[in-house]
């Protein structure tokens, strides 16, 4: 026999246990009548019900009660779960956010239901907040028209790709996901350096900016201004990168146009003297640091004054434009062709020695020799050029000296009869046969 005293103690301990239970629990009759309910259950229901002394769960909760009753009555089996964590939200005038209550009803026997009643408003709000944040991010992610957003895993493989990225790059997501993002860079040796620069910058500072060309799926490219951010794990590790890029091709073109306006010769479209001197200084500095040779061509149209006098300035301009085109056509992309003024042109040839310079000069000379410009009177105007070639050497290591030396060689070419090229200070100067100057 258990002593009466112990039973009493146990009963009290049980009561206390139920009072302290942090979720609402209740025992109901089949019709919803409250037979037992702990304080938390009462407190939750008190918030919703009009009457504080809840006699019947189904009757005191309005439409929510009807909903629960329908669930309970829909259960034909003698026992089982009627509903599990069934959430019902209540808009209450004194609350800013709805009260959401989770009801679990279990039919223990045809006459008895057990209920778990929990206020889950806080977690519902948290879930809603998280969902809203996700939707907002999704809306920004997919909705931004001007910004391509994509992310990379830690090995620079693309793992997300938004609609703007599809538009901007021309790749649908399935063609880029999982691939190395270097595919988006132009096929150019400098792309690797650029990729390393920006990712190293991002790793060092959390994010880095990048400006440069991106390659589209089609052969075209666009000028993008980008921010690359490191995605950090909670433990401080690096899980990947987010790249946000914006097409600034139009702005880049405008800037280029402005720069062109300041650096281009208006008549021929070649560089002007100022731009040439700037580039030449940079190339000479590079030449001094490195081992690659550097050469310069000084080109002058022969007897240009005669063209002007015979056919007018308009034809003279046409001749200069044709000459400029010929020069541009005969040199490489990296060479810098400029008009210094009047009928005088210059070409800077990086990585080219005097022999290579001479060859370029001869290509230009023979090309010009074959040109014909139509004058207003219908006559065909022919013309020639004389070219001085100079290679940068220790004793001619400035732009001025190099120009001077090429000019001397040009003078020598003129002196020897024009329509020829002469290499400055070269021992094996080979003269080209003189022809009729234009």
Binding stretches for other proteins (CB under 8 A): 11-12, 15-16, 18-20, 22, 34-43, 45-46, 51-54
Least separation in angstroms between residue 37's CB and other proteins is: 6
Closest to other proteins by CB, 27 or 282: 27
- For residue 387, give Cα distances in angstroms to 35, 327, 366, 405, 437: 112, 11, 11, 12, 13
User: Shortest distance, CB of residue 9 to other proteins, whole angstroms?
Assistant: 9
| Nearer residue to other proteins within complex by CB, 37 or 323 | 37
Min dist. Cβ of residue 174 to other proteins (A): 54
Nearest residue (CB) to other proteins, 100 versus 295: 100
Q: Which is nearer to other proteins, 35 or 134 (CB)?
A: 35
Q: How far is the CB of 11 from other proteins (least distance, A)?
A: 8
SS (H, E, C) the chain: CCCHHHHHHHHHHHHHHHHHCCCEEEEEECCCEEEEECHHHHHHHHHHCCCCCCCEHHHHCHHHHHHHHHHHHHCCCCCEEEEEEEEEEECCCCCCCCEEEEEEEEEEECCEEEEEEEECHHHHHHHHHHHHHHHHHHHHHHHCCCEEEEEEECCCEEEEECHHHHHHHCCCHHHHCCCEHHHHCCCCHHHHHHHHHHHHHHHHHCEEEEEEEEECCCCCEEEEEEEEEEEECCCCCEEEEEEEEEECHHHHHHHHHHHHHHHECCCCCCECHHHHHHHHHHHHHHHHHCCCCEEEEEEEECCHHHHHHHHCHHHHHHHHHHHHHHHHHHCCCCCEEEEEECCEEEEEEECCCHHHHHHHHHHHHHHHHCCCEECCCCCEECCCEEEEEEECECCECCHHHHHHHHHHHHHHHHHCCCCCEEECCCCCCCCCCCCCCC
Q: Please, which residue, 95 or 372, has the CB nearer to other proteins? A: 95
- Give me the least distance between CB of 90 and other proteins, in Å please: 17
Q: How far is the CB of 178 from other proteins (least distance, A)?
A: 54
CA 258 vs CA 10, 252, 289: distances in Å: 92, 10, 31
What's the min distance (Å) between Cβ of 82 and other proteins? 21
Nearer residue to other proteins within complex by CB, 53 or 395: 53
Question: Of 37 and 385, which CB lies nearer to other proteins in the complex structure?
Answer: 37
Q: For other proteins, give the closer residue by CB, 52 or 189.
A: 52
CB of 87 to other proteins, least distance (A): 22
Q: How far is the CB of 51 from other proteins (least distance, A)?
A: 8
- Other C-beta atoms lying within 10 Å of the C-beta of residue 242: 16
As measured in angstroms, the least distance from the Cβ of 49 to other proteins is 10
Nearer to other proteins, 46 or 401 (CB): 46
Tell me whether residue 119 or residue 210 sits nearer to other proteins (CB atom): 119
């Amino acid at each position: 026999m258990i002593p009466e005293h112990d039973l009493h103690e146990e009963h009290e301990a049980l009561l206390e246990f139920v009072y302290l239970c942090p979720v609402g629990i209740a025992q109901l009759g089949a019709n919803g009548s409250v037979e037992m309910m702990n304080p938390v259950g009462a407190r939750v229901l008190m918030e919703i019900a009009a009457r504080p002394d809840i006699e019947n769960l189904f009757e005191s909760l309005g439409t929510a009660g009807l909903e629960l009753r329908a669930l309970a009555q829909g259960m034909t089996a003698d026992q089982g779960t009627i509903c599990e964590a069934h959430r019902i939200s209540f808009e209450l005038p004194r609350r800013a956010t709805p009260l959401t209550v989770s009801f679990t009803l279990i039919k223990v026997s045809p006459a008895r239901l057990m209920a778990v009643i929990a206020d889950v408003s806080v977690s519902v709000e948290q879930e809603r907040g998280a969902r809203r944040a996700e939707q907002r991010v999704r809306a920004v992610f997919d909705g931004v028209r001007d910004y391509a957003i994509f992310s990379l895993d830690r090995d620079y493989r693309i793992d997300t790709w938004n609609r703007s990225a599809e538009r901007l790059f021309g790749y649908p997501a399935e063609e880029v996901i999982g691939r190395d993002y270097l595919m988006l860079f132009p096929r150019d040796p400098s792309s690797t350096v650029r990729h390393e620069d920006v990712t190293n910058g991002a790793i060092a500072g959390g994010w880095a900016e990048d400006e440069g060309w991106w390659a589209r799926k089609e052969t075209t490219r666009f000028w993008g201004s980008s921010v690359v951010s490191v995605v950090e794990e909670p433990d401080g590790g690096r899980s990947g990168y987010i790249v946000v890029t914006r097409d600034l091709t139009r702005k880049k073109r405008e800037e280029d146009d402005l720069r062109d306006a300041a650096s281009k010769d208006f008549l021929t479209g070649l560089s002007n003297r100022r731009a040439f001197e700037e580039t030449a200084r940079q190339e000479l500095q590079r030449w001094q640091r490195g081992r690659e040779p550097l050469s310069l061509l000084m080109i002058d149209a022969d007897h240009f004054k005669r063209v002007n006098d015979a056919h007018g300035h308009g034809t003279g301009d046409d001749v200069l434009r044709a000459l400029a085109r010929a020069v541009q056509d005969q040199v490489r992309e990296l060479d810098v062709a400029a008009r210094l003024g009047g009928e005088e042109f210059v070409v800077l040839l990086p990585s080219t020695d005097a022999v290579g310079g001479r060859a370029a000069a001869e290509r230009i000379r023979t090309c010009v020799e074959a040109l014909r410009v139509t004058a207003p009177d219908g006559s065909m105007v022919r013309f020639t050029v004389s070219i001085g070639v100079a290679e940068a050497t220790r004793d001619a290591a400035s732009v001025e000296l190099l120009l001077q030396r090429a000019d001397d060689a040009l003078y020598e070419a003129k002196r020897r009869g024009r329509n020829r090229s002469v290499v400055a200070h070269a021992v094996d100067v080979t003269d080209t046969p003189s022809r009729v100057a234009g």
